[in-house]
Structure 1
């Protein structure tokens, strides 16, 4: 690994030679591999994380692994039973678990690919609603895929900029702003981050980060929390920006006590309460995090006040009758999003309807179906949702090779006695998706964009064991 000389000079001066040398040595080592279990799918069924190398201290469902298996060829990965996530990134969910104890509405502003979003939804109190946003369209689709595989209905995926949220009039109790940054903390994992680094990019990033915070600050309720984070080391994008937020908008710091034994570094060159994860000190990649609480609401323009008071609800198209595919206690309303039918929990349907007025919704609640003529084709997200009713579809258990074939979107053979119609296919009793059995063959309904593209013939492996 050859680091840019300007980075070395600046970072050594910032951290001091001893801390910098320790980090530089760690950057030459293989990065730790870690995963986080999905508690909504594995809470009572997990028996073992294979090749585990200890638990991530700040994540009760997080585990280090002794090596890096080929997750692509594990059907349980595609079923959403676990998420491969860098350990330092799991810390955001621990912070929220310490500060939030009642149902809230939260926004993960820069959420792709979805690791922090799914970790947050794992710890948010029941009844909370989590908006997950990504401004880049292609990345928002990846975010939506991971959220759908995670399977929790109280999540919304949007494809917008912070300025769009400001115009929407929506407000949140907590906002995570894991802002785009120069990526110095990812040097060990991503050689591209080294190639793209420059002092000019650092300058661009800290200015962009201030623009983002300026746009999203009005969406934070008075008394609400802003969690500001980056995956970089320099203080321009970290301490200096947090000091600017405090002074510009009026905020108090609210970082909970951090256990000393976790070896998390505090702020550098500043007395603000913040957390720095530095390779060589903590077991993970680079992360900076600070928590600020909004003191009061700034003056709203007449346009913003009118928008907040607006009671207009968009016209709802007439929906076809939906079969009883969801659990009986799932209280919901039906909405149409991009030609797909979704079930939106009634407790936050008014928030969703308001969001539809100003935001691009990629996914919300539970994807139910696509209407095709008189036929309703079950949505891929329905198979993976924890709201799917038991017995809603005929189930067919697939062995390993058949599961991989299904995930490659290849044809699979069903037992002769399988009834015709839509069939839910599973592996180790975990749903993977749907096929349509038409008698002489089964049409694979797995999304084209989700399919395993590699032609490699894998050997069966286990990463987690279920009962």
Structure 2
């Protein structure tokens, strides 16, 4: 790897010769591979990974390359792998049993666990492809709502796909510029801003980041980052928490921007409890005081360097918005449980094709106990379920934001039939598996299904909608018509590769 000379000079002056040489050596090594397990679908028992069955007394053991999973120290769900799996060809990956995520970035969990103890409304502003969003959704207190946003339209679809596969229902996915959230003042309790950056911390994983790096690009990045924070700050409630993170090393995008947030908005930096053996690096700025007399070294920030921690470069700081700041909390004027209706070209409400019979069928597909606090609603041809306690918040967001998905899509009406939604199959909490005939498939059948190919079921499989499972984990639905089964897997999510690797390594 040929690093830019200006990067070498700046980083060497920042770290010192000895530390820089260690960093440069680490950047020549292969990056570690890490995943986060979805404990709603999997569980660890006595150091072994097992599939979480609906009957808790029954388990199906999984092995992973005959090796052990090494925990990521700062994450309750993160694990290092001895070697990279063939993730594309692992059905459990597509079923949302785990997410491939860089280990250092899992440190976000520490802010949520240490400072968020009650249900909150959280925004992940720059969320695609969904690593931090799926992570946050797993560790937030029960009853919380996560809004995951991505400004680029096609990436917002990928974000929605990954969150759907993760299977937790209290999620809204939006496709908006940070400035669009100005219509929602004091709306969020927590905002995660994993801002676009110069990507220095990803050099050994992404050669393009090395090619595109320049001092000029760093300058563009830190200015863009400040603009993003300024745009989103009014949407944070007084007393709310801003998590600022980057995957870069330089202080211009890191410490200097944190100092700017303190000075510009009066934000209070938050101290995180960390273990010494995590080898996290603190503030790299020289001992300079800001206008309030506070030393830069007093500001708690957290750097991850690959020569010290097993992961890539990462930076994080957590800050609290002053309680004394004027509270412009949005006052809801929406009737609880009502949803907006789409208009036709003449301005009238689009008639819904969903009947009471369809709604009754959909209710039968849901776990009655888990869905009791959720609102089932119909719009156009679709039936969705969303947490009732956040119906007003969703209505407010629909008025000012582009909503990609909200809650769980239970089903869609086509003709006279209600077709079960793939999101329902992925929702481990809401799906009532007894409502469907199930068919356990082989690895080969699972891959064929994920390629959106026609599937032939066993002769004993009943006609109608069948839930396919692999190692007892739901993969999705088919409609069995006897001689074959119509594949209902989402077309845009299919495995596009038509070959299988010579060696397949799966969870």
Q: What TM-score do you get using the length of structure 1 for normalisation?
A: 0.94
The Cα shift of 1:338 comes to 8.2
Contact 2:238 2:326 in 1 (8 A): no
- Which residue of the partner structure matches residue 19 of structure 2? 19
Contact 2:381 2:414 in 1 (8 A): no
- Which residue of the partner structure matches residue 344 of structure 1? 386
User: Could you tell me which of 159, 167, 172 is aligned with 2:175?
Assistant: 159
1:326 paired with 2:355, answer no
Distance 1:382 1:428, change over 3 A: same
Shifted more, 390-399 versus 163-172: the winner is 163-172
- Which residue of the partner structure matches residue 397 of structure 1? 440
2: CA distance, partners of 1:165 / 1:336: 26
1: CA distance, partners of 2:409 / 2:200: 37
The Cα shift of 1:170 comes to 6.0
Contact 1:250 1:296 in 2 (8 A): no
1:201 paired with 2:217, answer yes
Contact 1:170 1:308 in 2 (8 A): no
Structure 2 counterparts to residues 99-178 of structure 1, below 5 A? 99-169=115-185, 171-178=187-194
Contact 2:23 2:305 in 1 (8 A): yes
- Which residue of the partner structure matches residue 226 of structure 1? 242
- Which residue of the partner structure matches residue 31 of structure 1? 31
> Which deviations, in whole Å up to 9, do the C-alpha atoms of 1:407-431 show, x marking residues without a partner?
1111111112222111111100101
1: CA distance, partners of 2:30 / 2:248: 19
1: CA distance, partners of 2:378 / 2:272: 41
Shifted more, 272-281 versus 53-62: the winner is 53-62
2: CA distance, partners of 1:233 / 1:5: 15
Shifted more, 43-52 versus 389-398: the winner is 43-52
The Cα shift of 1:182 comes to 0.8
User: Could you tell me which of 399, 415, 424 is aligned with 1:382?
Assistant: 424
1:315 paired with 2:340, answer yes
The Cα shift of 1:373 comes to 2.4
2: CA distance, partners of 1:339 / 1:6: 57
> Which deviations, in whole Å up to 9, do the C-alpha atoms of 1:379-427 show, x marking residues without a partner?
1111111110121211111101010111111111111222211111110
2: CA distance, partners of 1:338 / 1:174: 33
Distance 1:409 1:132, change over 3 A: same
Shifted more, 424-433 versus 330-339: the winner is 330-339
1: CA distance, partners of 2:275 / 2:197: 27
User: Could you tell me which of 378, 382, 400 is aligned with 1:358?
Assistant: 400
1: CA distance, partners of 2:105 / 2:171: 19
- In structure 2, the residue corresponding to 1:39 is in which secondary structure? coil
Contact 2:304 2:311 in 1 (8 A): yes
1:449 paired with 2:474, answer no
- In structure 2, the residue corresponding to 1:69 is in which secondary structure? coil
2: CA distance, partners of 1:433 / 1:408: 12
- In structure 2, the residue corresponding to 1:52 is in which secondary structure? coil
Shifted more, 276-285 versus 318-327: the winner is 318-327
For structure 2, which runs of at least 5 residues remain unmatched after alignment? 45-49, 52-60, 286-295, 342-350
Contact 1:337 1:361 in 2 (8 A): no
2: CA distance, partners of 1:339 / 1:7: 54
2: CA distance, partners of 1:338 / 1:237: 45
1: CA distance, partners of 2:388 / 2:442: 38
The Cα shift of 1:350 comes to 1.7
- Which residue of the partner structure matches residue 432 of structure 1? 475
Contact 2:436 2:466 in 1 (8 A): yes
For structure 1, which runs of at least 5 residues remain unmatched after alignment? none
Contact 1:314 1:357 in 2 (8 A): no
Structure 2 counterparts to residues 178-197 of structure 1, below 5 A? 178-197=194-213
Contact 1:160 1:359 in 2 (8 A): yes
1: CA distance, partners of 2:70 / 2:5: 36
The Cα shift of 1:360 comes to 1.2
2: CA distance, partners of 1:198 / 1:5: 10
The Cα shift of 1:9 comes to 1.2
> Which deviations, in whole Å up to 9, do the C-alpha atoms of 1:61-105 show, x marking residues without a partner?
211111111111111111111111110011101221111111111
The Cα shift of 1:168 comes to 3.2
1: CA distance, partners of 2:123 / 2:379: 20
Distance 1:337 1:124, change over 3 A: farther
Q: What TM-score do you get using the length of structure 2 for normalisation?
A: 0.87
Distance 1:49 1:85, change over 3 A: farther
Distance 1:409 1:179, change over 3 A: same
The Cα shift of 1:445 comes to 1.1
User: Could you tell me which of 85, 89, 104 is aligned with 1:69?
Assistant: 85
